[in-house]
Structure 1
Amino acid sequence: MRDTHPHRWRRTGAALLGTAALVLAGLGAAGQAGAAAGSPTPHVTWKRACSQPAKAGEMACGAKRVTSGTTAYAVQRAKAGHAAPDAADASTPSGYGPSDLQAAYGLTSAAAAKGAGETIAIVDAYDDPNAEADLAKYRSYYGLPACTSAGGCFKKVSQTGSTTALPTADSGWAEEISLDLDMASAVCPKCSILLVEAKSASMANLGTAVNRAVTLGAKYVSNSYGGSESSSDSSYDSSYFNHPGVAITVSAGDEGYGAEYPAASRYVTSVGGTALTKATSTTRGWTESVWKTSSTEGTGSGCSAYDTKPAWQTDTGCAKRTISDVAAVADPATGVSVYDSYGITAGWYTFGGTSASSPIIAAVYALGGVPSSGSYPAKFPYAKAGTSALNDVTTGNNGSCSSSYLCTAKTGYDGPTGWGTPQGVSGFTG
């Protein structure tokens, strides 16, 4: 049985035009996110970095920048007796940093010892002229080793591989790029980073950039964008995402229950999103639930209408590909710290969306080591399902659906968070 759900990008033309008008007016790009437990409660407003896709075959970045409110990090600071940072103040971080993410996902020792010689590729559209400089600010602030083009750690290229003929700059996608680069750095500080910029947000150009990343030797490729599914997806699969021996991660989407592409590709690791909160009462020290702000704002999940189910997926609610495989933090209210300066006031911002979870998981794969030749790394977490290698997320939902596990967390596999979030690297090794 295939479950379907109306998706925000698939509504009537009138509704799309109305939404587009709001976005252009700067009114439709803001949302609210909050967590249910804790006092004070994290509660923020946020703004989309990119507008929704205007046509089929076009993708949108998923980065969500917090514009006001109290983040989970601020609550954490306040409970520890420190001044709580204001999310609207760009002079100081108000989101989780590298030590938080490494601790939450059991990666502290791996991040200190592994990653040297590995390259994580970040694929996005358009150019961020300040990408390297902003990355340097982030890494310096948090005491991470420098990652520069002069030192051979950082490289930025176009989808053609050129280091000089780069795409047109775009401030929205630049925010996405900053988020992606910082998350890869936070989880795998010793990894090298390859930024591949597509000349536009079309699936064809972004797919070409994925191929370029693989051609240049990246074994871990993060994609923090998505759009509505189409009958062309199977051809996109074979043209851009069928790369055995390469871990390709894709954001599951941020519109609540409903499938997106390329998260629906059978060749990628589809990454859902959680709300991540520090909890001293648990052995782990952290708790997670499905990220949901409203019925149309939260992590994506669901059944693909077009993509074949991979052999390692055995759930019965979807005849075709099920989204997601795993998850990581995405709720803007429990968001991550990012430094960005292109098109906005230079400084520190908190970001959320499954745009954050995709590069986090790509970096976990990188800490786990090079996938074996011919393997599909999306399969790796399935081999460790139900073990201590993954934090099983069992609370929350991202909407309503007829096969409840597709939109509601439960013990074991579920759509919003897959098999769970990382607890060390063993769930992401072949």
Structure 2
Amino acid sequence: MIQLAYSLDTFYFLMTGALVMWMGAGFAMLEAGLVRSKNTVEILTKNIALYAVACLMYLIAGYNIMYGPGLSSFIPGLSFFLGAEHTADAILKSGGSITHSKMADFFFQVVFVATATSIVSGAVAERMKLWSFLAFAAVMSLVIYPVGGYWHWGGGFLKGLGFVDFAGSGVVHLCGASAALAGVLLLGARKGKYGPDGRAKAIPGSNLPLATLGTFILWLGWFGFNGGSELMVSNIKEANAVSMVFVNTNTAAAGGLVAALLLAQFWFGKADLTMALNGALAGLVAITADPLSPSPVVSTLIGVIAGLIVVASIIFIDKAKIDDPVGALSVHGVTGTFGLLAAGLTNPDGSVLVQLTGIGAIFVWTFAASFATWMVLKKTVGIRVSEEDELAGVDLAECGLEAYPEFTRD
């Protein structure tokens, strides 16, 4: 029985990890659809390259920083590369306490760090230098994300306080949004985004079918993101728990989409597709903090509230002259924060005060470390392309290619 359970849980870990990896395609398609055609190749290059960079940096030391023995509950340790896999004798002698392969655990965790870094990509789109972004992605995957992850999932002080973050509304999504905010503030808005009077101008994306496909892919991948975070599926209790996580994840997304679409119709007089897409993602981000404790009805309500929040947040951030082409700050940061607070109320062991502590710790650390990293890059190699290259499109300037060469570029 031990061998069967170990094999089943390892296989489940690997397959859900593959679903999370597939979310990289979702981010790439979503962002490619929401930027202008002249910036498509660069956004695609960033998304696939950051995945590779994140995998390598997390392999070198990120995973060990996050899950290795720490110097204290605040300060993680430092070691390099992965240790040996569990031996068959160790697995059998564990009496079932070793539930899955160490390599499967690494694979599942590495696709999470890539997700956090993908959040940054969309927020800084259309005006950032490719190699500066990839340099930041390396630091993010090697140090910034693992330290915050150590505080909770690695057994650090947030875990000791009883912080609730089942699959990463804070560890992943708030972290990614905090890093993105630091970059956006130093980078500045896209040329032409704000007029002489300070009013924001809409800059439509080039391919809404692609953005919609990306959202569907992300929605699908989220079943691996949340479902895999249950870590086991090899007994009745865990199988039922995984099923509840899947249902709650799905209903939160559905509630978020419908709520955002209705609010957009009421607010703008039109059924705005981009708001609907972000509403679904907002519901997914919010329920990620705890997709197991609430009932499906409560999970739907969490998604509904997140969908309403994200529409208002996107408008507010735009009016504040913080240029975020894909709404990443609102989807991942604002609704991620809401989801963590909601978990403090819906989880039997939750505490709003502890949740606020975790939110503050993750935001302050990630924002400060990211701001410092972006600043170093800005002062050395620069982070923004020239005005001429930005107006022409970063595809040709950074990659020498066009995504749609048969069409006239906008």
Query: Normalising to structure 2: TM-score of the pair?
Result: 0.30
Bigger radius of gyration:
2
Question: Which structure shows the higher strand fraction?
Answer: 1
More RCO (CA 8 Å, sep 6+): 2
